[in-house]
Amino acid sequence: MTSHVTLPDPSAEIIAVQDDLVTLAPLADHPLIKNEVVYIIPHGPEREGRPTEYLKAEVLRVRGKTAEAQVFESTSGVRVGDKVIQTGEMLSVALGPGLLSTVFDGLQNPLADIAAQHGFFLPRGVLTNALDTARKWSFEPAVKSGDQVRAGDVLGKVPEGRFEHRIMVPFSLKGKWSVERVREGSYTIDEIVVTLKDDRGQTRDLTMVQHWPVRRAIPDAMVSAGQSERLYPSEPLITTLRLIDTFFPIARGGMGCIPGPFGAGKTVLQSLISRFSAVNIVIVVACGERAGEVVETITEFPQQSDPSGDGTLMDRTVIICNTSSMPVAAREASIYTGITLGEYYRQMGFDVLLIADSTSRWAQAMRETSGRLEEIPGEEAFPAYLDSAIKGIYERAGVLTNAEGETGSLTMIGTVSPAGGNFEEPVTQSTLGTVKTFLGLSAERAYKRFYPAVDPLLSWSRYHAQLGDWYQENIGPDWVARVEEMIELLGRGDEISRMMQVTGEEGISTDDFVVQQKALFLDMVYLQQDAFDDVDASAPLARQQETFDLVYQIATRDFAFNDKDSVRKSFTELTSLFKNLNYAADGSKERNGLISQIKTLVGNLPTAQ
């Protein structure tokens, strides 16, 4: 259970209220600071006899002695004259043991704790600690008295489930410090475990928790201090999804986006990516008004075993979702909260995956706030700084070597929900100008039950060349060229299919019909993957390579059919065999038998001399 949070006395007051935007003025000589967190205390006759509410807000703009702040909760009952507490701190998150397996809202309030104390209809204005202050953790020091440390250095280790949580020197600490005292044993996160001293004799007591402003990237401070190094992503993020790993890879530590209309399968696709990707930590940020999707994640992840290790999926997951009572401003904060938690675990040397669903809702929250601030609007009334804001979020992904010489990564995949599936709208276009992998979902493919409904003719990945050395070393020197050849086949097949819609089969040659059937065969047996089959839902890279080699041999073979009926019959049989092959477990008699049947069938087909 969380404990009460202490705050200073009020030092400002409300002078105007406009929806979730309030104007503040200091009561005395207390200047207001941009991005400072403040708490509004509603008063009035209707509040008498009720618990005091503390409405959290963030200062967006300072004008002389007044400032405008967005409130992260309902402003019902807030009026001119209400007192405001200035914290002097930026919007920050608590970083320490206990983050994993937790469901937070966009402001890092632990929803389970609040529900346990106040019921499932969450009240507004409740002060809670993000992390459990009563639980004790076993702290094993990694330093001793006299050691020299600086920001980011590991002070000790704490077991957090199956992970080794590193307690690090606060990232905000400047210069070099020496360890004065260190304690070993079981302590709460608020108890002092290490005392540091600088060359002037000043001391600083450290606990197992630190705070970091969410709008600043953790690695920036570390790199500038010479304590860590940003690296070029050079390995793919293995998702076990054939369409992604083979055709449109995402680099480990890279950036990708999944735009698509309603009903095209974004939720299932991002669930598969979060379940089966080769990462240590998964952070799911539901920054829009999510309902069934988030409930499904919260209820299923604790029940499903983790494919990458012991325990359940929830053991290595952090979920951030806004409650229905929170205004749109909380959506805008949630994605910054999630990416800061991801950077924290990356700093420990972990591979982290951040799924943001959906950045369209996040951008809409910025649009509403910008409109209330009466800023000059850009395209479709989005703020003029939309493009730079999106780039600023995605560019916090990357690969990092920390002070211990360990490499961690943060991969970000954002889903976009363009109205009507229009990829020309501003949020999608700004995202496409930032990411290096674009997985465009198609309503047409979803209607045909082609899942995942990623359109291979719209999608692309700029990581093929970047990851070329890895593919050459781990798969083969001609892997990328063969994949590009198959993408070209899909394009040629689509052109012939469109021609057939006009002229019918009679209007094309048998050779063209073979090309169209090859493309359809490739699409149906390799690009499609059954998310609800125990075997086909996850295809390891070795299995993908084996299947792709078989498909490639067929797709590049020069057949010599006499008529279109024999073409259709042959590829229908091949498609059926490959579908069964996808459902057959590796090393099973069934799979070996199907491979034998496929090779026999292909060997009996007529080929050009």
Parallel/antiparallel/unpaired status of strands 460-461 and 437-438? antiparallel
Distance between alpha carbon 377 and the CA centroid of its chain, in Å?
28
265 has binding-site annotation: yes
Both structure tokens of 29: 């000589």
Element (H, E) at 593: helix 589-604
- Dig out the tokens for 148 from the structure: 């020299």
CA distances from 520 to 443, 459, 595 (A): 18, 17, 20
Q: Which residues contact 407 (CB under 8 A, 6 or more apart)?
A: 231, 349, 399, 400, 401
In terms of C-beta density within 10 A (0-12 exposed, 13-18 middle, 19 or more buried), how is residue 79 classed?
exposed
Chain mean position to CA 430? 17
- Written as one string, the DSSP assignment of 73-89 is S--TT--TT-EEEEEEE
H helix runs in 414-457, sequence order: 426-432, 443-447
Show the DSSP H helices in 373-506 as ranges. Answer: 386-394, 426-432, 443-447, 463-466, 468-474, 479-503
Structure tokens at 154: 């590991």
d(CA 25, CA 65): 6
- Helices and strands: H and E segment counts in the chain: 17, 26
Query: 606 a known binding residue?
Result: no
DSSP 8-state code for residue 265:
S
Tokens 């950077």, residue located: 343
| Residue type, position 372, single letter | R
| Residues whose CB falls within 8 Å of the CB of residue 179, separated by 6 or more in sequence, listed in order | 143, 144, 145, 146, 147, 148, 149, 155, 194, 195, 196
Task: Report cis status (omega within 30 of 0) of the bond before 358.
Answer: yes
- Residue 88 marked as a ligand binder: no
Non-local CB neighbours of 560 within 8 Å, separated by 6+ positions: 606, 607, 608, 609
- Quickly tell me which residue has 């299932």 as its tokens: 268
**Residue 451 carries which side chain, given as an amino acid letter?**
Y
Query: Is 262 known to sit in a ligand binding site?
Result: yes
For the chain, the first-to-last Cα distance in angstroms comes to 77
532 is in an annotated binding site: no
Parallel/antiparallel/unpaired status of strands 210-213 and 92-95: antiparallel
Instruction: Please count the other Cβ atoms lying within 10 Å of the Cβ belonging to residue 28.
Output: 6
CA distance 319 to 344: 15
Alpha carbons 293 and 291: distance in angstroms, whole number: 6
SS3 call for 62:
strand
> Mind giving me the DSSP string for 527-546?
I---TTSTTTT---HHHHHH
Binding-site residue ranges: 260-267
Binding-site residue ranges for ATP: 260-267
